[in-house]
Amino acid sequence: MRASTKWVIAARDAYNFCMTSNQNDPAASARGSQLASDFTVSLHYDRRLYREDIAGSIAHARMLARQEIISAGSAISIVEGLQSIEAEIAAGDFPWRDDLEDIHMNIEARLFELIGDVAGKLHTARSRNDQVSTDTRLYAKSAAVELVVAVWATQNALLQQAEAHVETVVPGYTHMQRGQPVSLAHHLLAYFEMLDRDAERFANAAHAASVSTLGSGAMAGVPYPIDRHSVAEELGLGGITANSMDAVSDRDFSLDLIYAASVCMLHLSRLAEEFIIWSTDEFGFLKLGDGYTSGSSIMPQKRNSDFAELTRGKSGRVVGNLMAAMTTLKGLPLTYNRDLQEDKEGLFDSVDTALMALGVAEGMIESATFDVEKMRNAAESSYVLATDIADYLVGKGMPFRQAHVIVSNLSEQAVGSGRFLHELSLAEYQAASDLFDEAVFDITVDSSIAARDVEGGTAFNRVREALEVAKLRMSAVTDDS
């Protein structure tokens, strides 16, 4: 008998035994009921929405009183009860009950305990569907703003390093091959630009979330003369939703925030990858601060780039959260479906992970020490000036494609003889083209960088200009905030 067949038979026998036993075992039946109950519980993660839930409830209660749907006295009792509950939760004294399933039912049950039957008036003109949607929107808006601030801090760390390394020369790479010499500051400012787009995406996500769905009810609106705009205004939201069916089923704002976090994590992962590579003995371009490395359990000489590696690894989690959220939403008919309970864990995890990764990136950047001499030597001891030599021929009237072929052949000749391009003789250059003269030896990594004197280029003066513009941009947004 095949081994796999044995395992199948063993599994079948165990299954049949369990099924037979469970039929006569009340404890097993209770365990099954508990499992079914636990499957629907969200309290263990949605309790972090307590501030948002209470804020939404307070605004709703006050509006009900203004609209004379409930009495002013009832609203005061409800608001005071909710404020007491918020204080209890903040102090860690709240009596959480898993049997009440979620944050909303826990708060409502506690409100009944504190103020009695008047608590039942709070849910007038409201459903858990529009309640949870507004709670999540309030969280997403706040989290997106917090992420923008974290991005700014990381950008400032990049600016500080860039300012110290405008004239530090490093090889620029394509396909992980040395391509052309660039300013290290120019390289670092590339990540500044990536993060700038991330900040904009997070800001857009905050704007997308800044809409109140309260008043949409379960799906069709509510039969009360409510004032939706005043609730949105009290909650600091920019407006109200236009369609009640869309409002309770829409989670685009959550996708926007997870997507923004995913792209940001991709950028941080790229930076982490370069820091990992650059800190190897083979490169030796930088040394990370001791607080951002760890030792080996067996090899005492090693310092591992664990924080950068974890940043790289955690990017996969956030991208996975995005895929999970999109997959959950893709097949849902209107309107609310319980599947939407699954929107929060991935959102929370994406926000938490991105915030941690940004903090780590800020610290790694600040702690990094760059080996200026080794970076320059890597640029000079290479073939990164090949393009400049081709451009030299173009300057003498040769079409670039022809110059490219000539310099490609010269590069192969130099590599084959174990030399660099600047070590070839003038005779060897002139054998390839009579347009070469002594001026070819004036081409250096510094002249190469200086030649890229265009907006967005790596010439030192352009990098200084870009650095000043970047600093002004940061000052503008941080001062406004």
Region of 379 on the Ramachandran plot (φ > 0 left; ψ -120 to 50 alpha; else beta): alpha
Active site residue 175: yes
Q: From residue 15, how far is each of 12, 29, 414, 454 by CA, in Å?
A: 5, 15, 72, 73
SS3 164: helix
Residues 256, 205: contact at Cβ < 8 Å? yes
Name the phi and psi angles at 300, rounded to 5. -65, -20
d(CA 422, CA 407): 12
DSSP letter, residue 169: E
- DSSP string for 290-345: GGG-EE-SS-TT-EE-HHHHHHHHHHHHHHHHHHHHHHHHTTPPSS--GGGGGHHH
d(CA 205, CA 256): 5
Q: From residue 82, how far is each of 230, 343, 450 by CA, in Å?
A: 19, 26, 65
72-91 and 103-115 helices, crossing angle to 10°: 120
Cβ-based neighbour number of residue 458 at 10 Å: 25
Name the phi and psi angles at 304, rounded to 5. -90, 140
d(CA 180, CA 384): 5
Residues 141, 116: contact at Cβ < 8 Å? no
d(CA 106, CA 120): 13
Residues 53, 104: contact at Cβ < 8 Å? yes
Name the phi and psi angles at 174, rounded to 5. -130, 140
Which positions ≥6 away from 154 have C-beta within 8 Å? Answer: 195, 358, 361, 362, 365
Active site residue 216: no
**Given 21, 33, 296, 447, the catalytic residue:** 296
DSSP letter, residue 278: H
**Given 175, 297, 425, 481, the catalytic residue:** 175
Active site residues: 175, 296
